[in-house]
Every structure is written in C-alpha cells, then in structure tokens.
Chains A and B, each alone.
Chain A
Amino acid sequence: MLEFNAQTIAFIVFALFSLGGALGVVTTRNLIHATLYLILSLFGAAGFFVLLSAPFLAAVQVLVYIGAIAILIVFAVMLTRSMTRISDLYNRQWLLSAIVAGILFVVLLAGVIVPVWGVNGTQIDRPVSDVVAGTVDLGKALVDQNQYVLPFEVASLLLTAAMIGAIVIARDDQE
C-alpha cells in the first residue's frame, strides 16, 4: 500500500522524530534533555507540514515552537534549577495513567483505521486533490471579513493579554 519513494522515507523519518521525541519528553529525567526531545518532536511535526504542502505553517512551527516556546521552557527550567532532577519522575498513579493512555490510543487508532478499511475489510479509495490553496489564500482568509477576521483579531487580543499577564505574574514584587 506504500510505494517506496522519497516522500515515504521522509514521512517515516519525521514520524520517528516526532514519536521518539514525544516518548523522550515524558520519560527523560533531565528536563533540559526533555526540552531537546520536545524540539525534535516539534521538528518532526514541521516536516509533516511540509509533506502536507503547508510550508507557511512549517516555518511558523519552527519559528514559534522551536525558536520561542522551547527557548522559553529552557529558561523556565534553568530558573527553577534545583528541580531539574527530581527523585521520583512520576506520581503514584502512573500505572493507571499508562493504562488510560493506552486505551485512548487503541480507541483513537480504531477510530482512524476502521473507516479507512470499511466494515467488510475493503479499503475506501478517496481521491486526493492536487489543487492546494497556498500561503496567499491563507493570508487572505485570515483577514477576509466573511471568514476568519474576527478570530484573527481575538487571537491578537489573546496574545496581548497573555503578554501583559505573563509580565504581571512573573514580575518580582520587591522592585
């Protein structure tokens, strides 16, 4: 079902990046390493966006997640430095959580795969369009008054509020 070409190889590599990185994030004791795994995982997701012909989102993913959020997390880890190595990695309900996450994964996977093969085991072939809207269309959609201009404005308001909130919360009152 998978033909062997560059796209497939790229997909497998990115899948390994994002899944392996995600596993590293939740299992690593050292938080700096966990952040680097997070960067790896996010990088894999950026690769997915490229494969899905959404280059703008891929670039923004690298810019926002890796360039800003990951660095922010590293700063937080270092500012709360004594806590980078905690004796107990997980809390007491880790077994229960693992079971819950496992069941969730099985359910999601079933929900993803069953519709593909149908009930009687025949794969439904949905044709994929080659015509894809580009970055220009995304930009126009975001400021089109019939589409997403209101969410866009709300998002910028949210960012402003988050900025002010972060400064107020993290500020040292002694000064």
Chain B
Amino acid sequence: MIPLWMYLAVAAGIFCIGTYGVLTRRNAVAILMSVELMLNAVNINLVAFWRYIEPLNMAGQAFAAFVFVVAAAEAAVGLAIIIAVYRNRRSVIVEDVNMLKW
C-alpha cells in the first residue's frame, strides 16, 4: 500500500499552492477557487488519516462530508457576493472593493 506520508505530502502541496493563490490572485473568483483547493487538501488529509489510523471510526469520513457541505455553502454564498459586487462596482478585482476599508 502507498505509505501515509505520500498522501499527506501531496495534500500539503495542494494546500500551499492554494495558499499562494489566495494571497496573490487579484480576481475574486480565482481566490475562491484557491480556497476550494485548500479545503480539498484538508479533505484528502482527513480521509487519509481515517484510512490509515482509525478505519473503523467514522470520524474522518464524517468530517470530510461536512467539509463538502461547508465548501458548497461557501461557494454558493461567495459567488453570490462576487456577482453582487460586480453589479455595483463593475469589477471583480478584490483591491477595487474597498468600501469597508475606513
């Protein structure tokens, strides 16, 4: 079987790429995509730990399922906010959205 650390290493890679995307991308939709990547990396970790350490305790899979739910909710609300912002400001660049800055 594949050793556990390889899954964790891949997940760490995805997580860090996602982090980089969140910190640097200017387009709000791209930031949202990077957040999805990070959530996904966490999910891989959860399921990998579940399989290798506690395959009879459903905690890992159950939490992964909840991450799915949160990701879906986050995507729906996040994209709704982006569309609402676009309608008002004609822009999806996060630096242009500074109404709450003061």
Contact = CB atoms under 8 A, between A and B. Distances in A.
Asked whether any CB of A lies within 8 Å of a CB of B in the complex, the reply is yes
Given A34-B30, A159-B72, A41 B79 contact: no
Contacts of B12: 105, 108-109, 112
Contacts, number: 249
Question: Secondary structure at chain B's binding surface: helix, strand, loop or mixed?
Answer: helix
Contacts of A166: 76-77, 79-80
Interface residues of A, number: 86
Contacts of B47: 48-49, 52, 54, 57
Interface size class on chain B is 35 or more
30 contacts: A2-B2, A22-B13, A26-B17, A26-B24, A35-B33, A45-B14, A48-B10, A52-B7, A57-B47, A57-B61, A61-B68, A64-B72, A73-B33, A76-B82, A76-B83, A79-B86, A80-B83, A91-B95, A93-B23, A93-B24, A97-B19, A97-B23, A97-B24, A98-B20, A101-B19, A112-B5, A128-B52, A142-B58, A142-B62, A159-B72
